[in-house]
Chain A
């Protein structure tokens, strides 16, 4: 499975945009980029996923580099509730599991 690299931690102020980076230089053509987050004392929660094009949903936006070797999860206006560990995960059509790395711990300050 191709690996991802994320910063250990990031900080943001409430109501500011947050850009969470993820490097995946060994990504293959069939790998999808998934983002999950885990709020304190809760199970992981799906955020967004994409293959090649940028994606938007009600929670966030996913910007994928043209060469697909990196991606950025964008939270448009951080809230205190967005404080969580964010995981960037690659998975392909022949993978039966999600493999979680160490993720990025996002702190949001009032």
Chain B
């Protein structure tokens, strides 16, 4: 029973397309995150939601729009995909702020833009 699940695991698409990645957590956590890991393996936070409210938006282009329909879900929609968007996107969740304990990460969604 996966704690943080992301779909799809792999996504290959053309430049200019719009795509979405979904994330669900069954841990009852109140905070969810999106991280991006680029080809150099650098992990960078993009967004964070607490109880469906956006609390972190790390200078991510407007083409990226997160949506949290409820505490258990955080989806990422990307418009007008560019080559530089190719990366692995990780969803994570925690109960409260990170200092209190652990973040649980999903297995990642590898996006390839051609």
Compute the total of residue contacts between A and B using a CB distance below 8 Å.
60
Main secondary structure on A side of the interface with B: loop
Establish whether residues A98 and B98, one from each chain, have CB atoms under 8 Å apart when the complex forms: yes
* Nearest CB in chain A to that of B58: its residue: A97
Q: State A95–B102 Cα separation when bound (angstroms).
A: 13
- Least distance between A5 CB and chain B CB atoms (Å): 16
Total interface residues on A, CB under 8 Å, equals 23
B14-22, B39-47, B64-72 - the one binding chain A:
B39-47
Establish whether residues A96 and B102, one from each chain, have CB atoms under 8 Å apart when the complex forms: no
B103: interface (CB < 8 Å): yes
The proximity string for A residues 84-110 relative to B, scoring 1 for CB distances below 8 Å and 0 otherwise, is 010000011111111110100000000
The proximity string for B residues 73-92 relative to A, scoring 1 for CB distances below 8 Å and 0 otherwise, is 00000000000000000101
Establish whether residues B45 and A99, one from each chain, have CB atoms under 8 Å apart when the complex forms: yes
Establish whether residues A98 and B45, one from each chain, have CB atoms under 8 Å apart when the complex forms: yes
Establish whether residues B101 and A44, one from each chain, have CB atoms under 8 Å apart when the complex forms: no
Establish whether residues A43 and B105, one from each chain, have CB atoms under 8 Å apart when the complex forms: yes
